[in-house]
Structures are given as structure tokens and as C-alpha cells.
Amino acid sequence: MTDRQAKLRFEGVHKSFHTRRGEVTALSPIDLTVYQGDFIALVGPSGCGKSTLLMIAAGLEAASGGTVLADGAPMREPGPDRCVVFQRFALFPTKTVTGNVEYGLRMTGVPKAERRERVRETLGMVGLSAFADAYPHELSGGMQQRAALARSIVMRPDVLLMDEPFGALDAQTRIIMQEEIARIARDLGLTVLLVTHSVEEAVYLCNRIIVLTARPGAIKHEFTVDDDWSHHSVDEAMAQPGFGSLQRTVWNAVREEITSVQ
């Protein structure tokens, strides 16, 4: 039991799609609670419904059944309390970094002076202060993802939803971004739900790891990460015996589901 506030609660949430070949069940009924301050990873085989569950949490996809509660109230549509960071950066190409990051604030009616101060503070947080007036095509992939991250966290969301956010980055940049999001989540006290194919990333960043079964996705196992590896660099964390042991245990659970459909 925990006395922490439940920020998101999935109660019997399931999802089916109608296709030309009939109905496809993507998610079996899911019961999961995301508490304030959690950093939770959803891992599992491709096509198991990880991203679908995340989009339902964002209000961008409707569940076929069940209930999603945000702060205890039924959630039926997107809102600034839940911001999404996608694998594809989805930046406006004709807007500067500042224009992209302030967009959500402008759309929600935040006054200009406050808007500019929050953008300035957030760009400093993600290391883009010197690129405030740059356009997306002038940025590297890692810098574009920093801008996309800034666009979400400038809203100060209750829950940050991340869908394979570092999947399009090269290996070196991905490590740096993992360390950066760990620091930012800690500094802002963010609650994060992360979809990732990287078990290593899940073990490093998260305090809870949810393994989903092959489609239709159901919760196969939940792992609690007792060590807060994110206070270390990725290299330092990976050198610890406990890190490798948990990584192997989680990977074996995922591997079982991958091989079950081959």
C-alpha cells in the first residue's frame, strides 16, 4: 500500500480495433495505478499495445472499455496535465525553438511575460538557451528532441507521457538524453510513464517496470527497482552488479513473450 496520490489509474482498460480482417484485440483489460513521483516503464514485444495504452492515457485514443482516472476523475480527452513526448520530434518547422516551446502556453492563454520567462527557464533546463532563435532544421537530432521535451515540460504537466522518446537518436546521444531526463524528472518532481524497447533504459530510469505480454497486451509482471540508478551516469549504473542482474531478469520476461509468437 502507498499513501502517495494516484495521478493515473487504469481500471479494466482494454482496446480493440476493427480491421478488414476482423476485430483485433490490442489490449486485454489492464489494471494499473501510476502514483505521484513514479517513473514507470512499459516494455514488451512489438505490437503488444504499449503505445496504445500511452495514447489512451493522453486522451488521444479512446479505450474500448474500462475507465481511466486522472487525479481520481474520469479522463476522456487530452489536457495540459498530461503532455506527450513522441519519438518523432513533431516540431513546427517554421517556428523557432522559442516559438515551438511557447506554443502550448500561448494556446492555453498564459500571458506573454510569464510565457517568455517560463520558456527561458525551460530552455536553460534542457541546455538550449543558446539556440532559442534557431529553427528545427538548424538543430541536430538530439537538440530537436531537447526542444520537444522542453515543449512538454514547460507546461509543468502532472504526468509526462514518453513514447520511445530516444528511439530515433544515435547511441551516444541517447545515453546523454537518458541522463538529462533523469535529472529533469528529479528536479521537477515529474511523474513519468515511458514506453521503451530498451530494457537497459527502463532499469536506469524507472522505479517500476511493467512487462506486457504479446498481443493482446496484458500485464505479465511488474518489477520494482529498489536502487535509484538515475543518480549515477549510465556507465556507472551499468557497472553495478545489481543493475545487470535486474536487466537480465526483465529481459528474460520480455524474451519469453517475443519467442511465444515466433
Pairing mode, strands 65-70 and 6-19 = antiparallel
Does residue 21 carry a pLDDT above 90?
Answer: no
The CATH class for the domain spanning 6-81+159-260 reads: alpha beta
Cβ-proximal residues to 189 (8 Å cutoff; 6+ apart), any chain: 37
What does pTM read for this prediction? 0.94
Q: Please name the residue that has the C-alpha cell 520511445.
A: 164
Q: Taking residues 200-213, what's their average pLDDT?
A: 97
CA 160 – CA 194 distance, rounded (Å): 8
pLDDT of 1 = 46
- With bands split at pLDDT 50, 70 and 90, how would you rate the model's confidence at 130? very high
Q: Taking residues 97-107, what's their average pLDDT?
A: 95
- With bands split at pLDDT 50, 70 and 90, how would you rate the model's confidence at 220? very high
- Cβ atoms 22, 30 nearer than 8 A: no
CA 100 – CA 184 distance, rounded (Å): 19
List the beta bridge partners of residue 219. 212
CA 247 – CA 137 distance, rounded (Å): 36
- Cβ atoms 106, 85 nearer than 8 A: no
Q: What are the E-state strand segments in 56-199? A: 65-70, 73-74, 82-85, 159-163, 191-195
CB neighbourhood size of 227 (10 A): 14
For 48-86, the pLDDT digits (tens) are: 999 999 999 999 999 999 999 999 999 878 988 999 998
CA 163 – CA 152 distance, rounded (Å): 13
For 143-172, the pLDDT digits (tens) are: 999 999 999 999 999 999 999 998 888 899
Does residue 2 carry a pLDDT above 70?
Answer: no
Q: Where are the domains of the chain?
A: 6-81+159-260, 91-156
For 231-257, the pLDDT digits (tens) are: 899 999 999 989 999 999 999 999 999
- Tell the burial category of 193 from Cβ atoms under 10 Å away from its Cβ (0-12, 13-18, 19+): buried
